[in-house]
């Protein structure tokens, strides 16, 4: 049976044993135990006295909460087993079955991991990958257009290359990177562990547990280079319109070139990879346009900004606000933060921490260790919390939490806030939320509470109402002078695909089909009436309970590739989702969300539209969405032999 851990990245002679020992000495004990079990086949490593204990905190439980002598025994045994493996000994348990994989992760996490989760563990560790490769050949004349060169666009390009489909990729910026190309504000980084913020096909030697934007951008650009995506890319090219051509059965995409010329390009398949974090949200503040200082939105940050000794006001305390404020507080003369809402921010013990050189080397030399460490992080930051987010109708305190476990989270986070602000109790009422944890995006404390206590920092728990000259007035009339305003106000997340017009069958605009801010798509990907059109990071694809955006995009692109393969198998010219399937999926999405924390009454979040419907994130667990996107049901699709939609009735399942 195939498995990915037969290859040894270094020869025994080339292995740096001293550096490897350093890595093992600092390795995560729970992950190391799983490696030890697979290398030796000895069940004892999964049982007492070696089985990890639950950590009382929110760290990675690197010690497994085990006595030091037991930790040393595990590390010594792992060192010997890894040496033997490097010298040629095969894994004793090369391919645990999927149920066993879930049991192993249960041991490592010190909590129950559902048996069905073993399927996604196996996929994440790339077991039996070769057995799942498709043998369908896409006709040579088929082509595609990809709009967007961020994470989604890179993922699309890689998958299309794998399918053998030639494509053109249009990107409005000067290079790949998307949101990581545009967002250059101080402190910009990711709140997802670096090991999970990678393409499955290209692991990276990250320097930090949670990398900053420069390293992320470098990774994305290097990935694009490695897969030769630049050959198909057209930069500084703005897409104006994508229109379905009934006569040719292709998408006609009109663009404006860097020289200002308008061109039209045609292709059989269209992939929208613009995501939802591409249109900055600008607040409507009286006098903002006439402010006599500088105004910067975090997503449009110039390279030459100098904030030294300036009076700076930050508007917003969401993800970007919580990152930029701590990053600039020590260089500015004064920092005023207008924060009309309150945010939950969890402890972040690995903030700005680098991965020790030895641990990085261990992950390179022993891919099995890296794989299990990634699986632990995937569970911790993905589906671990999902089961605690359901609204319990019997719960007696719905104003503060949605169920008993959620209330326990609230107590823990509240204790943390009070501990951080013990010397400034006057700030607690201004930052402690009155809504359930996870009802809004859960943020990580990267020095936020420490920052708002600084002598040159003032937190105003109100919205900025108006500006006169260089004077800013809060809603209660409090005034403050500023030289610079930083808008940390996020994006127009409900205006999905708002940057260009998409015209489907019979001249229907996608925006008209959806309405103002009510985007919807089957599996976040397909919309009836828009054949051969695939949306990446579309409606209800993001993960509100945590997780890697890249994994969700990869799931979508895998599904899109399977749809294209199915169309080729049928000799179909077009393919689209059935109306009834589309409507049923939307009903199931809405029904599921009504049971979850994100629709908690009285709570505002950027996941919901003006009607209160959740359109940005999925209600499903990540492994559930992974299963949905493995293989399309042919009965869900309409395959057509001509561009006007004449169905292959015998082949629709």
Residue position matching structure tokens 């990053």:
327
Q: Are 433 and 338 in contact (CB under 8 A)?
A: no
Nearest to 233 by CA among 164, 178, 143, 157: 157
Say what the pLDDT of residue 648 is: 44
Pairing, β 457-460 against β 501-503: unpaired
Cα separation, 632 vs 629, whole angstroms: 7
Q: What's the mean pLDDT in 602-624? A: 90
- Is 2 a residue whose pLDDT tops 60? no
* pLDDT band for position 212 (cuts 50, 70, 90): very high
Say what the pLDDT of residue 440 is: 92
Burial letters 319-338, b for 16+ CB under 10 A, else e:
bbbbbbbbbbbeebebbbbb
- Between 243 and 133, residue with greater pLDDT: 243
Q: Are 158 and 201 in contact (CB under 8 A)?
A: yes
Q: What's the mean pLDDT in 227-238? A: 98
Q: What's the mean pLDDT in 185-194? A: 94
Listing DSSP states for 322-367 in one string gives HHHHHHHTTTSSEEEEE--S---EE--TTTTPBPPHHHHHHHHH-H
Q: Are 52 and 65 in contact (CB under 8 A)?
A: yes
Q: In terms of pTM, does the model score above 0.85?
A: yes
Q: What's the mean pLDDT in 578-593? A: 98
* pLDDT band for position 352 (cuts 50, 70, 90): confident
- Is 170 a residue whose pLDDT tops 60? yes
Say what the pLDDT of residue 68 is: 98
Q: Are 574 and 639 in contact (CB under 8 A)?
A: yes
Say what the pLDDT of residue 59 is: 75
Cα separation, 164 vs 77, whole angstroms: 46
Cα separation, 474 vs 496, whole angstroms: 31
Both structure tokens of 148: 């967007």
Both structure tokens of 373: 């460490």
- Is 136 a residue whose pLDDT tops 80? no
Say what the pLDDT of residue 604 is: 83
Nearest to 184 by CA among 320, 318, 301, 295: 301
- Is 505 a residue whose pLDDT tops 90? yes
Nearest to 98 by CA among 76, 122, 78, 82: 122
* pLDDT band for position 60 (cuts 50, 70, 90): confident
- Between 347 and 530, residue with greater pLDDT: 530
CA 152 to the chain's CA centroid: 11
Q: What domains are there in the chain, each with its CATH number? A: 17-118+126-133+357-384 (no CATH), 149-279+493-651 (3.50.50.60), 288-344+397-487 (3.50.50.60)
Nearest to 619 by CA among 561, 563, 543, 557: 543
Contacts of 306 (CB under 8 A, 6+ apart): none
Cα separation, 622 vs 559, whole angstroms: 15
How large a percentage of the chain has pLDDT more than 90? 85
Say what the pLDDT of residue 351 is: 82
For residue 61, the SS3 value is coil
Both structure tokens of 296: 């910067």
For residue 267, the SS3 value is strand
CA 559 to the chain's CA centroid: 18
* Dihedral Cα 282, 615, 611, 462, nearest 10 deg: -40
- Is 453 a residue whose pLDDT tops 50? yes
- In angstroms, the Cα distances linking 317 to 25, 486, 651 are 39, 11, 53
Say what the pLDDT of residue 3 is: 63
Within 13 A of 164's CA, how many CA atoms are on the CB side?
10
- Is 557 a residue whose pLDDT tops 90? yes
Say what the pLDDT of residue 135 is: 52
Residue 476, number of CB atoms within 10 A of its CB: 10
Greatest mean pLDDT among 19-33, 274-288, 491-505: 19-33
Nearest to 3 by CA among 98, 145, 115, 107: 98
Question: What DSSP element (H or E) covers 479?
Answer: strand 479-481
Residue 579, number of CB atoms within 10 A of its CB: 11
Write phi, then psi, for 471 (nearest 5 degrees).
-105, 130
Pairing, β 471-474 against β 464-468: antiparallel
CA 467 to the chain's CA centroid: 36
The pLDDT tens digits for 296-339 are 999 999 999 999 999 999 999 999 999 999 999 999 999 999 99
Q: What's the mean pLDDT in 137-158? A: 92
Question: What DSSP element (H or E) covers 555?
Answer: helix 549-569
The pLDDT tens digits for 455-482 are 999 999 999 999 999 999 999 999 999 9
Within 13 A of 490's CA, how many CA atoms are on the CB side?
14
* pLDDT band for position 641 (cuts 50, 70, 90): confident
Q: Are 121 and 101 in contact (CB under 8 A)?
A: yes
Say what the pLDDT of residue 201 is: 94
* pLDDT band for position 653 (cuts 50, 70, 90): very low
Cα separation, 570 vs 186, whole angstroms: 52
Say what the pLDDT of residue 645 is: 58
Give a three-class secondary structure readout of 425-466.
Answer: HHHHHHHCCCCCCCCCCCEECCCHHHHCCCCCEEEECCCEEE
Listing DSSP states for 559-624 in one string gives HHHHHHHHHHHTT-SEEEE-HHHHHHHHHHHHHHHTTBGGG-TT---TTB-TTS-B-SB-SS-HHH
Q: Are 271 and 157 in contact (CB under 8 A)?
A: no
Q: Are 308 and 286 in contact (CB under 8 A)?
A: no
Tell me what percent of the chain is helix, strand and coil, each rounded to the nearest 5: 35, 15, 45
The pLDDT tens digits for 424-446 are 999 999 999 999 999 998 999 99
- Between 514 and 134, residue with greater pLDDT: 514
Nearest to 402 by CA among 432, 433, 434, 439: 439
For the chain, the average pLDDT equals: 93
For residue 521, the SS3 value is coil
Contacts of 152 (CB under 8 A, 6+ apart): 178, 273, 274, 275, 536, 537, 553, 557
Residue 528, number of CB atoms within 10 A of its CB: 19
| Mean pLDDT lowest among 188-192, 260-264, 350-354, 562-566 | 350-354
Cα separation, 155 vs 193, whole angstroms: 19
């Amino acid at each position: 049976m195939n498995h990915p851990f037969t290859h040894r990245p270094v020869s025994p002679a080339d292995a740096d044993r001293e550096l490897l020992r350093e890595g093992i000495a600092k390795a995560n004990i729970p992950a190391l135990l799983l490696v030890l079990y697979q290398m030796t086949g000895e069940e004892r490593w999964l049982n007492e006295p070696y089985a990890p204990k639950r950590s009382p905190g929110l760290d990675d439980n690197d010690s497994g909460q085990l006595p030091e002598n037991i930790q040393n025994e595990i590390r010594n045994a792992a060192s010997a087993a890894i040496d033997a493996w490097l010298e040629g000994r095969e894994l004793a348990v090369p391919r645990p079955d999927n149920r066993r994989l879930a049991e192993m992760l249960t041991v490592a996490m010190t909590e129950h991991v559902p048996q069905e989760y073993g399927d996604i563990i196996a996929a994440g560790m790339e077991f039996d990958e070769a057995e799942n490769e498709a043998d369908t050949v896409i006709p040579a004349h088929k082509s595609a257009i990809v709009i967007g060169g961020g994470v989604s666009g890179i993922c699309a390009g890689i998958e299309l290359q794998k399918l053998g489909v030639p494509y053109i990729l249009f990107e409005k910026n000067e290079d790949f990177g998307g949101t990581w190309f545009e967002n250059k504000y101080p402190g910009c980084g990711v709140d997802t562990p670096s090991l999970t913020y990678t393409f499955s096909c290209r692991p990276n030697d990250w320097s930090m547990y949670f990398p900053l934007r420069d390293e992320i951008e470098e990774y994305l650009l290097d990935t694009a280079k490695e897969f030769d995506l630049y050959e198909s890319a057209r930069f500084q090219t703005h897409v104006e319109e994508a229109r379905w051509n009934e006569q040719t059965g292709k998408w006609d995409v009109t663009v404006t070139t860097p020289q200002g010329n308008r061109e039209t390009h045609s292709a059989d398949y269209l992939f929208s990879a613009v995501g939802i974090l591409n249109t900055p949200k600008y607040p409507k503040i009286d006098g903002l346009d006439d402010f006599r200082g500088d105004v910067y939105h975090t997503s449009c940050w110039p390279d030459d900004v100098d904030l030294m000794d300036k009076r700076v006001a930050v508007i917003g305390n969401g993800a970007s606000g919580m990152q930029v404020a701590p990053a600039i507080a020590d260089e500015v003369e004064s920092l005023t933060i207008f924060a009309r809402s309150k945010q939950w921010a969890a402890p972040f013990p690995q903030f700005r921490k680098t991965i020790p050189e030895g641990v990085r080397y261990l992950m390179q030399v022993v891919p099995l260790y890296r794989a299990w460490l990634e699986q632990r992080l995937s569970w911790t930051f993905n589906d671990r919390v999902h089961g605690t987010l359901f609204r319990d109708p019997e719960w007696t305190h719905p104003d503060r939490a949605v169920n008993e476990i959620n209330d326990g989270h609230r107590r823990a986070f509240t204790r943390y806030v009070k501990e951080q602000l013990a010397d400034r109790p006057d700030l607690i009422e201004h930052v402690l939320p009155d809504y359930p944890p996870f009802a809004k995006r859960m943020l990580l404390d990267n020095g936020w509470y420490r920052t708002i206590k600084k002598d040159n920092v003032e937190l105003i728990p109100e919205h900025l109402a108006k500006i006169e000259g260089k004077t800013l007035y809060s809603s209660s009339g409090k005034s403050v002078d500023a030289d610079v305003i930083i808008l940390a106000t996020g994006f127009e997340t409900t205006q999905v695909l708002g940057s260009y017009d998409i015209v489907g069958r019979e001249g229907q605009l996608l925006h008209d089909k959806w309405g103002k801010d009510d985007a919807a798509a089957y599996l976040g990907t397909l919309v009836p009436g828009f054949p051969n059109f695939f949306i990446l990071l579309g409606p209800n694809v993001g993960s509100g309970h945590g997780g890697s955006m890249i994994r969700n995009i990869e799931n979508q692109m895998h599904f899109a590739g399977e749809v294209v393969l199915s169309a080729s198998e049928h000799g179909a010219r077009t393919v689209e989702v059935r109306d009834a399937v589309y409507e049923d999926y939307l009903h199931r999405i809405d029904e599921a969300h009504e049971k979850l924390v994100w629709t908690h009454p009285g709570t505002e979040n950027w996941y919901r539209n003006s009607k209160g419907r959740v359109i940005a994130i999925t209600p499903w667990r990540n492994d559930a969405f992974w299963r949905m996107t493995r293989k399309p049901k042919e009965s869900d699709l309409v395959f057509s032999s001509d561009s006007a939609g004449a169905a292959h009735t015998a082949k629709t399942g």
